[in-house]
């Protein structure tokens, strides 16, 4: 797996954190905290709780930096997974413990119905069809930004375009996708 320069920099910072380099940790936080905050906020839906969670996430990153294996996953994907898992753990902790079997079974019944599964598959097919209407480079940039978690800066470097051009690509592509999906 060949890493982009920005990804290589983040991987290097994680490796230096594993060696307990506090300066690298500060740089890693500055470079990635906005993205991880966004991930945590989407899950927790509470700004104060998300801010607290991000601090806890970085403690985990500091403690587990040695577990990151370069080349196995992208460094930002590894960081996002740590943040996502922590936020999901916080959500699970919110649920009150119960001894009532009916309540436990109600929680287990949250599985999607066959209708919902069919609807989700249909939505996925529509999104795939609409992505195919975009220029291939722009469709790949949209996937990179919104499915793979790459920053605008990373995508701009990947496609060798200025940052504002990448922002324009993504904004216009999303507008075209919205048009296609509502048609």
What are the residue ranges spanned by the domains of the chain? Answer: 5-94, 112-182
- Note whether 5-94 and 112-182 share their fold: no
CATH number among 3.40.50.12780, 1.10.10.10, 1.20.1250.10, 3.40.50.300, domain 112-182: 1.10.10.10
Nearest to 154 by CA among 17, 56, 8, 24: 8
pLDDT, the chain, mean: 84
Percent of the chain with pLDDT over 70: 83
In sequence order, which ranges of 132-162 are alpha helices (DSSP H)?
A: 136-146, 152-158
pLDDT given for residue 35 in this prediction: 92
Say yes or no to pLDDT of 104 above 80.
no
How much is the average pLDDT of 122-145? Answer: 85
Q: Is the pLDDT of residue 94 over 60?
A: yes
Q: Taking the complete model, does pTM exceed 0.75, yes or no?
A: no
Dist CA 137 CA 88 (whole Å) = 33
* Nearest Cα residue to 86 out of 33, 22, 39: 39
Tell me which of 109 and 83 has the higher pLDDT: 83
Mean pLDDT (whole number) for 47-76? 92
CATH class for the region spanning 5-94: mainly alpha
53, burial (CB in 10 Å: exposed 0-12, middle 13-18, buried 19+):
buried
**Residue with more model confidence, 74 or 113:** 74
Predicted confidence (pLDDT) at residue 15 exceeds the cutoff of 90: yes
């Amino acid at each position: 797996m060949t890493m982009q320069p920005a990804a290589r920099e983040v991987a290097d910072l994680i490796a230096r954190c594993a060696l307990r380099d506090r300066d690298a940790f500060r740089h890693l936080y500055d470079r990635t905290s906005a993205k991880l905050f966004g991930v945590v906020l989407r899950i927790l839906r509470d700004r104060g709780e998300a801010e607290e969670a991000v601090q806890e996430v970085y403690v985990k990153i500091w403690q587990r930096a040695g577990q990151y294996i370069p080349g196995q996953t992208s460094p930002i994907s590894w960081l996002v997974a740590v943040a996502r898992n922590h936020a999901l753990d916080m959500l699970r902790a919110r649920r009150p413990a119960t001894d009532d079997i009916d309540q436990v079974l109600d929680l287990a019944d949250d599985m999607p119905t066959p209708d919902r599964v069919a609807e989700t598959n249909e939505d996925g097919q529509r999104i795939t069809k609409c992505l195919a209407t975009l220029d291939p480079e722009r469709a790949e940039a949209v996937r990179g930004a919104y499915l793979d978690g790459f920053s605008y800066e990373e995508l701009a470097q990947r496609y060798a375009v200025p940052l504002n051009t990448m922002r324009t690509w993504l904004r216009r592509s999303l507008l075209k996708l919205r048009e296609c999906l509502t048609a």
